[in-house]
Amino acid sequence: MSLTPSDTAHVLLALVVLATCAHGVGHVFKRLRQPQVIGEIVGGLLLGPTVLGRISPEAQHWLLPPDGPTAAVLGAFYQIGLLLLVWLTGSELRTSDAGSERRTIGSVAVSGLVLPFACGLAVAQVLDPGELSGPTGSPATLALVFGMAIAITSVPVISRIMLDLDVLGTRFSRIVLAVAVVEDVVLYVILAIVLGVAQAETSDPHGLWSLIGTDSLPLAVVYFTAVPLVFLVVTTRWGPRLFAALSRCAFNVLNLQSPLAFRISFVFLLCAGCIGLGIDPIFGALVAGMSTAGASATGASAAGASATGAGASAAGAGASAAAASAVPAGEAATAAGSSHQTLRSVSLGFFVPVYFAIVGVKLDLARHLDLVFFCWFLVFACVVKLVSVWAGAAVAGESRGSAFHLAVAMNARGGPGIVLASTALQAQIINEDFFTALVLLSMVTSQIAGVFLGRAVRAGRLPTKAAQPPEPAARHRPPRVQQEQL
């Protein structure tokens, strides 16, 4: 269970180098007004076989060995970083009162999700599965991954781009984020189904599915479709309430001593619960983010209402008890918000950049980049997504310019696209060639969105929040968006 002093030093040095390169190159990209996540991946790319491996293969293999104790520990950091990234994504999946934009949101969500996914499935049928799939991949699972890669949209990356451009809070941003939330939830459910079916076809199934003891593929499809959906419905409905109730429980020693430790434990328990059900732990991280964020918002509102009521009661006689009861509620809400912010800061400051850096290390552009495949894959993905979103916006009555801006924004795949690539490769559904193409697709489409939207704002074609007339707060409540880059 313990490492030797030399192995410990090796692990610490590797983590320091990974974090430094990720933050260093990420900072450069941020100064260039490019998504920081791309810089973090490029930082890892410099340490991998693509750059450092070409300059000094011995140094690259020593610093980041493919096996041994160092590789095992870095693999654990990689997995934790992935789960925390998905948790952060889940914490941003909060809906807002869209008001008059509901027609556009509905139309764009349907066309921007169904059409690209269907086109991806259709094209995957004519591809040779042997060129893209991994050991556990099948034509069906490969087609589903291909379809998701075409349809997926990044909430965190597009949120950061709009924040930098002062577009958040506008009608445009409300439509984009509302549609992206719907798409991401649906596609994460599909991803859970794909990963479940893939592991059911292996010789080493786990969790509840392994106890069923059957090799029936139709039954596996039914099981891994029903379980994620039921898990999502139950945790979405009662997850925030459960988290809030556990946070207020007087016997919750973990939360009393450290709200941060309790929050982390809640995330990990839901991930472990998913493994117990036989589905991938990233689905547990997603719903944990949705639950903890929902509970924090509910707790803050309740604390505010409690404090207001206590203040009003204080004007009369006998209100001291009510005022006193408001203090614990306010303190609890403050502690919950502080622990959430601390976990975000730790995740974005260390674990997530290290995860993205390791993703970059895994990229071997010299050996696993098929330029011909990637070029037509990139063009196909962009054209299908752009046309689908534009058509949905046009049907809803949006102008040509507005429809085009929505299409460009929804084409950014960012973090969710990289999560798709990482989990599919880890489950051995796809091979390293397709993994490389998926990661590069996420990076390039995120850059395209940032560049085009930036030009639109500077040219005055896309109004900023400052230039847009103020709207009644009761009708339009912009979604809460994190300030850091995922």
- What is the rounded CA–CA span in Å between residue 234 and residue 270? 12
480: confidence class by pLDDT, cuts 50, 70, 90: very low
Q: Given this model, what pLDDT does residue 326 score?
A: 41
Q: Cβ of 308: how many Cβ atoms within 10 Å?
A: 11
Share of the chain above pLDDT 70, in %: 83
Average pLDDT for 348-375: 92
Residue 168 or 44, more confident: 44
CB of 363 within 8 A of CB of 70?
no
Find out whether 21 and 47 touch, Cβ atoms under 8 Å: yes
Say if residues 45 and 363 touch (Cβ distance below 8 Å): yes
- Is the confidence at residue 76, as pLDDT, over 60? yes
The answer, yes or no, to whether residue 476 has pLDDT greater than 60, is no
* pLDDT over threshold 70, residue 413: yes
Q: Which residues contact 393 (CB under 8 A, 6 or more apart)?
A: 104, 107, 108, 402, 403, 406, 407
How many other CB atoms are found less than 10 A from the CB of residue 364? 18
Q: Give me the phi and psi of 430, to 5 degrees please.
A: -120, 165
Between these two residues, 312 and 438, which has the higher pLDDT value? 438
pLDDT at 473: 47
Give the C-alpha separation, 256 to 248, whole Å. 9
Average predicted confidence (pLDDT) for the chain: 82
* Higher local confidence (pLDDT), 271 or 315: 271
Provide CB contacts within 8 A for 46, sequence distance 6+. 21, 25, 52, 360
For residue 124, which of 105, 152, 144, 107 has the smallest C-alpha distance?
Answer: 144
Please count the other Cβ atoms lying within 10 Å of the Cβ belonging to residue 305: 12
Confidence of residue 335 (pLDDT cuts 50, 70, 90): low
pLDDT in tens, 211-264: 776 667 788 888 888 888 888 888 888 888 899 888 888 888 998 899 999 999
Distance spanning both ends of the chain, measured CA to CA: 33
Between the CA of residue 235 and those of 97, 188, 250, what are the distances in Å?
Answer: 22, 14, 23
- Global pTM reads 0.79
Distance of CA 24 to the CA centre of its chain: 22
Q: Report residue 269's pLDDT band, with 50, 70 and 90 as the boundaries.
A: very high
pLDDT at residue 470 above 80? Answer: no
> Is 176:109 a contact under the CB 8 Å cutoff?
no
- Name which residue leads in pLDDT, 122 or 95: 122
Q: Report yes or no: 335 and 300 within 8 Å, Cβ to Cβ.
A: no
User: What is the predicted pLDDT for the residue at 194?
Assistant: 87
Secondary structure string (H, E, C) spanning the chain: CCCCHHHHHHHHHHHHHHHHHHHHHHHHHHHCCCCHHHHHHHHHHHHCCCCHHHHCHHHHHHHCCCCCHHHHHHHHHHHHHHHHHHHHHHHHCCCCCCHHHHHHHHHHHHHHHHHHHHHHHHHHCCCCHHHHECCCCCHHHHHHHHHHHHHCCCHHHHHHHHHHCCCCCCHHHHHHHHHHHHHHHHHHHHHHHHHHHHHHCCCCCCCHHHHHCCCCHHHHHHHHHHHHHHHHHHHHHHHHHHHHHHHHCCCCHHHHHCHHHHHHHHHHHHHHHHHHHCCCHHHHHHHHHHHHHHHHHHHHHHHHHHHHHHHHHCCCCCCHHHHHHHHHHHHHHHHHHHHHHHHHHHHHHHHHHHHHHHHHHHCCHHHHCCHHHHHHHHHHHHHHHHHHHHHHHHHCCCCHHHHHHHHHHHCCCHHHHHHHHHHHHHCCCECHHHHHHHHHHHHHHHHHHHHHHHHHHHCCCCCCCCCCCCCCCCCCCCCCCCCCCC
Distance between CA atoms of 134 and 137, rounded to whole angstroms? 5
Given this model, what pLDDT does residue 35 score? 80
**Mean pLDDT, rounded, for 277-289:** 86
Residue 481 in this model has a pLDDT that exceeds 70: no
316 vs 76, higher pLDDT:
76
pLDDT of residue 53: 92
pLDDT tens digits for range 9-56: 999 999 999 999 999 999 998 888 788 888 999 999 999 999 999 999
- Whole-Å CA distances, 359 to 85, 87, 424, 452: 13, 18, 13, 26
- The per-residue pLDDT for range 97-153, each reduced to its tens digit, is 555 577 888 899 899 999 999 999 999 988 887 889 888 888 888 999 999 999 988
Distant-in-sequence, close-in-space partners of 212: CB < 8 Å, separation ≥ 6: 219, 223
Residue that the structure tokens 């180098």 belong to:
17
